Structure formats: C-alpha cells, structure tokens
Chains A and B, each alone.
Chain A
Amino acid sequence: DGGITQSPKYLFRKEGQNVTLSCEQNLNHDAMYWYRQDPGQGLRLIYYSQIVNDFQKGDIAEGYSVSREKKESFPLTVTSAQKNPTAFYLCASSSTGLAGPFQETQYFGPGTRLLVL
C-alpha cells in the first residue's frame, strides 16, 4: 500500500528537550511538507522540501529543524527553542519537483500529536 506514515501517534516532550517526529512516504514523491495545526487556525507551513538535500522555511519555522537526506524521509525536530510546541503535526507529500510540471495535490499522513509535560 502506498502512503505516508508518521510516528509516533502521540509524543510527550519535557522542558528543554528536543524531540523528532518521523515522516516516511513510499509514493515516490519529490516534495514533502510539515504543517502545524492548532484549533481554529487551520494548517500553517513549518518547512518544505522539493528535492533531496534541499529544504526551505515555511511561515513558522522558528524553533524547528528538518533534514532531507533520503527521498522517502523528512523528519522534523522540535527544538527547545519552540516555546509552545503543543499541537497536531501533519506531514504531506506531492509529486512536485523543481523541474517537473506543477502538481500541487498534497497527500497527508495521519499526524502526530505533541504534548508538553
């Protein structure tokens, strides 16, 4: 089955701790995205990557970091600098590539809920 997996489903962070959220896709998509969802605010873009070894900041990148060493993986680290990390985090992917045609249908994973202890 092709799709996007996110783990863990729930994650607890202690004060001053960095935590990493996993996102894996087997859709052979070039582009991957991380969104944060807070109640009543829709989804806000944290980081996105259109190709391996390259990524760009989204609208709310402060306190987060990412890497894109493999096409199928785009982990998100929530650092201790993120003072309000409690939220639902969604990963998405699309077939958009830097040299490809525009293809903006993004497919979403099931999400990770991050809670602060």
Chain B
Amino acid sequence: AQSVTQPDIHITVSEGASLELRCNYSYGATPYLFWYVQSPGQGLQLLLKYFSGDTLVQGIKGFEAEFKRSQSSFNLRKPSVHWSDAAEYFCAVGAKAAGNKLTFGGGTRVLVKP
C-alpha cells in the first residue's frame, strides 16, 4: 500500500525567507505526486504535480518541487515567502494500480512572521 509522510507538522518562516516542505512517500512503482495548499476552512488547491519527465516541477504561486527517486522524496520549495503563503500544505501520492486513489500526508502548517 502507498503511504506519504510529511515529517514537519508546523513550520514558521519569516516573510522573504525561503521555504522547504518535506514529503516522503512509499510506493513500489513510479508514483504520481501532488502538492496541494489549503487556507483555513477552505478546500484544497493544486499547487503542482509530477507524473513523469523532468524531475523539477514548477507550480503556481512561485512554488517548485523536485522528485528524487533515490530518496523517495518530493519536497516543495519557494525562494521567498509572502504573508499570503501562510496555510496548510499537503503532499499526496496517486497510483493507477491503486484504483486511481490519492493518499495524503498529514499536512504541514506554515506560519509566516512579518
């Protein structure tokens, strides 16, 4: 069965500083990987996704993520954080062999200091 781990429950970062959110997955074949962002009381918005090809993926709002097969990781990065980036971030893995279902990590809540 596939699984996703987001080791950091909370991260606090100063506005203008860089941000990196960690995501590790477990799956026997090549996974399909996603990052979503959730503002309080809202649904999830897709930031970016990796299906195949270039392992460095660009997303919306200035985010990028890098797929590293050897480390089973798909970490999310942003060079300079804005106050509006304060939210909860979820990593997810999908697999066709698993009935096209997504498995989500527990989420990382990001707080941005002025």
Which A residues fall within an 8 A CB radius of B?
4, 6, 31, 33, 35, 40-45, 48, 50, 56, 58, 90, 92, 94, 96, 102, 104-111, 113
Contacts and interface: CB of A to CB of B under 8 A. Distances in A.
Nearest to B49: A105
Nearest to B9: A40
A55 to B, nearest CB: 12
Interface in B66-114: 90, 92, 94, 96, 99-107
Contact of A43 (B6, B90, B100): B90
B96 A102 contact: yes
Given A35-B104, A42-B104, A104-B102, 7 more contacts: A33-B101, A40-B106, A94-B100, A102-B100, A104-B94, A104-B100, A106-B102
Interface residues of B, number: 26
A106 to B, nearest CB: 6
B100 to A, nearest CB: 5
